[in-house]
Amino acid sequence: IMEEQGNHEWSAQWRAIRSARREMGSSRNMSSVVAPAASQGMDTFVEYYAPGFSSVYKPSKARDEALVFADLLDLLASENRETRFRFTSPHPKDFPRQVLEVIAAHNNICKQLHVPAQSGSTSCLKRMKRGYSREAYDQLICDIRAILPDAALSSDFISGFCGETEEEHLDTLSLLQEVQYEQAYMFAYSMRDKTYAARHLEDDVPASVKSRRLSEVIDTFRAGMKARNAAEVGKRHLVLCEGYSRKYPELLCGRTDSNKLVLLEDRPVHSKGAGPTEAAVAVR
């Protein structure tokens, strides 16, 4: 249906699609492990998380007959080979090995992963109730690099969370230096109502310190991003053209598999494997 409607790239947030139902044809569903895990007092969805990750939220029973996300992704990519799929996750626990292997197996699933860290410090992550340690996050990044070596990574970071020490801030800078994200959303912490932090913690980091730490986070991110971009020079990418550029109307505008914006000349190109004397085709 998506292809018939002319859609060649399909994007979604994890939370919008993880509750897809069995009717789509998967033989594996979440209820197959929920019951035995629950009977043993375990996190009922731990099998579907990346190793070392957990969730502080109680899953809805409505998910019992839901498709396993890796199966859903595999099904969609297999049956819509001319459509490019891109998705984002609100939590790094949602990248178990099964999901990474499905992404690696399909050329039409974008190799761009959003793995929000929030902090590079285990002690700060514990206060944030994130459900993982720095070591678990580091291992996840290693797994991603091993299975998807060309994947582009993005993340979220908060500077000046409740009780954040200078050492914890330096841990975050070290994570940025090690991973070299290609995109990041970075903010100074501000207390939100009805959160665990609002009920149990004190917003005790001075505004001036938050601002200084945020600037250091941004500068460190930009240095890593610059290094990643420099490594792209000379590489070839498959680009999905989305139309003409608004700023440069004579140029086509599109995105790479890693979600980089690209401008290119509007001229015919030779198909892969075609010689210079063979007929060229216009690509849209």
Per-chain mean pLDDT for the chain: 84
Lowest mean pLDDT among 172-176, 187-191, 276-280: 276-280
Residue range 173-182: mean pLDDT, rounded: 98
Tokens of 208: 């001036």
pLDDT in tens, 8-64: 665 654 444 444 444 444 445 545 544 444 444 445 667 789 999 988 776 666 666
Q: How many CA atoms lie within 13 A of 166 on its CB side?
A: 2
Give 141's pLDDT tier (boundaries 50, 70, 90).
very high
pLDDT in tens, 91-117: 999 999 999 999 999 999 999 999 999
In the chain, DSSP assigns E strands to 9-13, 84-88, 112-114, 152-159, 183-188, 239-244, 251-256, 261-265
Tokens of 45: 């969805």
Rounded to whole angstroms, the Cα distance separating 168 from 2 reads 46
